[in-house]
Copies of this chain bind each other. A is one copy, B any other.
Amino acid sequence: MGRWGMNDRLIRECIEACLACVTACEECASACLSEPEIDMMRGCIRLDRDCADVCAVTARLLMRGSDLHAQVCALCAGACAACAAECGQHRHDHCQRCAEACRRCEAACRKLAA
């Protein structure tokens, strides 16, 4: 049994979900910056940036077994929920992929945030 005890598997899954979400948010923000109708993508770009940064620090704290894991996961779940709500409204593939990654990450974070 590792340093995290019985939650070890959940933490591994959450780290993976956070890293996948960072990737999806970065790709979505970059793609939004190249969309012809960028005027409609402002909110998406904003939330992608915040979500990517929060997911990244959450993954790092989980990797190192930080005592802050429950609190940072609560923050991260909120960041993912907001980003998923915005990205889910757009039909671009990158937005839909991002919304899906955000929802998975939110779910993984909620399990550790309790």
A60–B52 contact, CB under 8 A? yes
Interface 1/0 per residue, A15-31 and B, CB below 8 Å = 10001001100110110
Chain B residues closer than 8 Å to A71, beta-carbon distance: 74-75, 78
Q: CB of A50 within 8 A of chain B?
A: yes
In the complex, A42→B49 CA distance in Å? Answer: 15
A23–B33 contact, CB under 8 A? no
A30–B64 contact, CB under 8 A? yes
Describe A's contact surface by its main secondary structure: helix
In the complex, A39→B60 CA distance in Å? Answer: 24
A-B contact pairs, 14 of them (CB 8 A): A22-B59, A27-B64, A30-B64, A33-B46, A38-B38, A45-B45, A50-B61, A50-B68, A53-B60, A53-B61, A54-B57, A54-B68, A56-B57, A68-B78
Identify the A interface with B (CB < 8 A).
3, 15, 19, 22-23, 26-27, 29-30, 33-34, 38-39, 42, 45-46, 49-50, 52-54, 56-57, 59-61, 63-68, 71-72, 74-75, 78-79, 82
